[in-house]
Chain A
Amino acid sequence: MPLKCLKICLWRMLLKLLKVKEMNISNLLKLAIYALKRNRMRALLTMLGIIIGVASVIAMLAIGEGSKKSIKDQISSMGTNLVSVSPTSQHRGGVELGNAAAVSLTIKDMDAIRAECPSVSDLSPEVRANGQAVFSNKNWPTSLFGSNTDYLRIKLIEVSEGRSFTEQEVKGAAKVCLIGETVLENLFGKGTNPIGLSIRYKKVPFTIIGLLKSKGTNTYGQDQDDLLLAPYTTVQKRVLASTFFNSIQSSAIDEFSTKKAAAEMEQALRKSHKLKEGSENDFRIRTQEDLVTTSSSVSNVLTILLGAIAGISLLVGGIGIMNIMYVSVTERTREIGLRMAVGGRGKDILMQFLIESILLSIIGGVIGIFVGIGASQLIGLLMKWPVVVLPASVILSFLVCTVIGVFFGWYPARKAAGLNPIDALHYE
């Protein structure tokens, strides 16, 4: 009922706008529909232009937006309000020691952060060894990560089978580890329960106490399941024979505090490293937001690119509509002459053409929206690419195409309707 009211209101407005009075709209609507039926091919081609324009804008922007979202999702899956510290390469006597040789982070820094940074909740060192994991006659090259018990919470890693290690085991440098899905698959075969089995890493035997839940590959194509995780003490003492950390990973108390946590950590670390006023940091602190902004600026470029392609297809579709409408009015000038000869007024003719192009544009636009959304979903499904259909893209492309369609239906018709009936009738 309100819909019908709206329809009547819109018609009234349109009529007022065109200063059309005492005209039988339902008659003109019928004439417009007859005319469209009579020229099915032309109607289809016009609609095709609109459909392609609308659908491509929707699909392109959906793909662009999808990639942006997936990068954001993956970054947030990297951890909870993550703030990470890594040593920077240092210059000592002109010799660059490189990141691997960085030696600046130790347990002292951990203690300093824990003592002085109220915005940090979870905190864990990360040490990393590279080598072969060996089980009976099979081996698999993988990384062995060492951490404390906070690590799983910080990095949003879950244990799907067995358990994680305890504080006791960290203190005692116990030879226990958790195993990633990829390693499990390559050493034992998929689906095997590895709990209680023993593997060797750099000649050190580890008892498997848990299986890590799969996280898949990240945006950069890295397999996030190809790892072993053990207490950092074990990795430091028994595997690496070192007291340094590759990095310190932490969670801020909430998502708004990562910047604050980073600032506090910088203070604490400068103090613990005894860095003089004005000297450079020998570490680098990155928050999760830093990662999000760099990555999404990349996908912004992608979205702009796709948007530009969509814009061009919209333009091409629009020019197509324009052409067909223009040619059709020229073709139909004699028909217009006849209509005027039997009593059609200029505004009746104009109105009929306007209704024709509104019908075409709206039907084409609606089909375009469905095709666009369908194509987006299909692309998402086939290419395993996330798609996010933006309501704004739907509205914008629909409006642009409809306006183009209606305008170029109306404009040439206005010229023809202004002709003398006899001139229109004798038009060659």
Chain B
Amino acid sequence: MSKIIIEVKDLTKEFHVGDVTVRALKGVNLSITEGEFIAIMGASGSGKSTMLNILGCLETPNSGSYILDGVDMSELNKDALAALRNQKLGFVFQSYNLLPRTSAIENVELPLFYNNKVDAKERRERAEKALVRVGLKDRMGHMPNQLSGGQQQRVAIARSLVNDPVVILADEATGNLDTRTSYEIMALFQELNSNGKTIVFVTHEMDIARFTSRNIVFRDGQILRTEDVKERFNAVEMLKNLPVADAVETSKS
């Protein structure tokens, strides 16, 4: 039996906009075991991002319980949540969210600056290792505006890896990328997952979800169904089969 990393019970979240109350999550139950590669699916507005943000401790639920790696979130204050994000979680955003005019390596180092146990030397070494791992060995000193979208997302993934989190959370991480680059990113995630990383990946694209091991489909703030992926795509294989024209066209990005 693998260890349960994420355990969510009866989770609800409401937003108040003026007089209107939006019930973004209406009682969600979910558990994720170590080493899983989850895709959270669903139409736009179904509550996927809200779910992920709560899992990532960026937002607090209105009710329900959330236990991450044995720690009950509801008992933690803001600072403790920040420390948790710093040490147990890694984030990848749709819009990369890199610091502008800051080199790739310095962007990757950022989370470690908020960790007192890591000194300058270790910080640099770990950031370098993370960048090597995402295939950007030669781009460490490059600024975000000198990198393609796919490369910027790789930097963001390296940043999410650098603190060796128990789970990586990605929200539409391929949403801004073309097909080939998306598959390349998925290949990277698959490789990380095969090395044991737990990944929760929000997407509304069916084909992207086929790269993961389990799909959780949301509708109207609730889980519609959960299904294991039968014929899982292998991103490395898929890349080989992509049409050549597409490859030429997208090789720039």
Q: Give A contacts to B, CB under 8 Å.
A: 22-24, 27-28, 30-31, 34, 38-39, 334-335, 338-348, 420-422, 425
> Roughly how many angstroms separate A39 CA and B100 CA in the complex, as a whole number?
10
**Inter-chain contact B58/A342, CB cutoff 8 Å:** no
> Roughly how many angstroms separate A343 CA and B90 CA in the complex, as a whole number?
10
> Roughly how many angstroms separate A38 CA and B101 CA in the complex, as a whole number?
6
> Roughly how many angstroms separate A342 CA and B91 CA in the complex, as a whole number?
8
Q: Chain A contact residues: over half helix, strand or loop, or mixed?
A: helix
Interface centre among B82, B106, B163 (most CB of A within 10 A): B82
CB distance from A156 to the nearest CB of B (A): 66
CB distance from B138 to the nearest CB of A (A): 23
Further 9 A-B residue pairs, CB within 8 A, beyond A338-B110, A341-B91, A343-B111 = A23-B116, A34-B102, A38-B101, A340-B82, A343-B86, A345-B82, A346-B82, A421-B59, A425-B97
Residue of A nearest to B60 (CB): A420
**Inter-chain contact A345/B83, CB cutoff 8 Å:** yes
CB distance from B97 to the nearest CB of A (A): 5
> Roughly how many angstroms separate A376 CA and B111 CA in the complex, as a whole number?
48
> Roughly how many angstroms separate A338 CA and B111 CA in the complex, as a whole number?
10
A38 contact set on B, CB distance < 8 A: 99-102
Residue of B nearest to A40 (CB): B101
CB distance from A424 to the nearest CB of B (A): 10
User: Taking A422-B58, A422-B59 as contacts, is the C-beta distance between A343 and B99 under 8 angstroms?
Assistant: no
State whether the Cβ of B87 lies closer than 8 Å to any Cβ in chain A. yes
**Inter-chain contact A338/B99, CB cutoff 8 Å:** yes
**Inter-chain contact A27/B114, CB cutoff 8 Å:** yes
> Roughly how many angstroms separate A31 CA and B93 CA in the complex, as a whole number?
22
A348 contact set on B, CB distance < 8 A: 82, 114
Tell me the number of A-to-B contacts counted with CB atoms below 8 Å: 73
Q: Give B contacts to A, CB under 8 Å.
A: 53, 56, 58-59, 78-79, 82-83, 85-87, 91, 93, 97, 99-102, 106, 110-111, 113-116, 159, 163
30 pairs, A vs B, C-beta closer than 8 Å? A22-B116, A23-B116, A24-B113, A28-B113, A30-B113, A38-B99, A39-B101, A335-B99, A338-B99, A338-B110, A341-B58, A341-B85, A341-B97, A342-B85, A342-B86, A342-B110, A342-B111, A342-B114, A343-B82, A343-B85, A343-B111, A344-B114, A345-B78, A345-B79, A345-B82, A345-B83, A346-B79, A420-B58, A422-B58, A422-B59
B56 contact set on A, CB distance < 8 A: 341
User: Taking A334-B97, A345-B78, A346-B79 as contacts, is the C-beta distance between A421 and B114 under 8 angstroms?
Assistant: no
B78 contact set on A, CB distance < 8 A: 345-346
Residue of B nearest to A352 (CB): B113
User: Taking A23-B116, A30-B113 as contacts, is the C-beta distance between A343 and B101 under 8 angstroms?
Assistant: no
User: Taking A23-B116, A422-B53 as contacts, is the C-beta distance between A343 and B87 under 8 angstroms?
Assistant: yes
**Inter-chain contact B58/A421, CB cutoff 8 Å:** yes
Residue of A nearest to B83 (CB): A343
Residue of B nearest to A30 (CB): B113
A347 contact set on B, CB distance < 8 A: 79
CB distance from B96 to the nearest CB of A (A): 10
User: Taking A345-B79, A421-B58 as contacts, is the C-beta distance between A338 and B114 under 8 angstroms?
Assistant: no
B93 contact set on A, CB distance < 8 A: 425
Residue of B nearest to A37 (CB): B101
B159 contact set on A, CB distance < 8 A: 342
CB distance from B42 to the nearest CB of A (A): 19
A31 contact set on B, CB distance < 8 A: 113
B110 contact set on A, CB distance < 8 A: 338-339, 342
Interface centre among B93, B100, B113 (most CB of A within 10 A): B113
Please list the 4 inter-chain residue pairs (A to B) with the smallest Cβ-Cβ separation, ordered nearest first.
A343-B86, A342-B111, A343-B114, A345-B82
B102 contact set on A, CB distance < 8 A: 34, 38
B113 contact set on A, CB distance < 8 A: 24, 27-28, 30-31
B83 contact set on A, CB distance < 8 A: 343, 345
Interface centre among A339, A344, A421 (most CB of B within 10 A): A421
CB distance from A190 to the nearest CB of B (A): 66
> Roughly how many angstroms separate A178 CA and B133 CA in the complex, as a whole number?
97
> Roughly how many angstroms separate A425 CA and B79 CA in the complex, as a whole number?
17
A335 contact set on B, CB distance < 8 A: 99
> Roughly how many angstroms separate A346 CA and B85 CA in the complex, as a whole number?
13
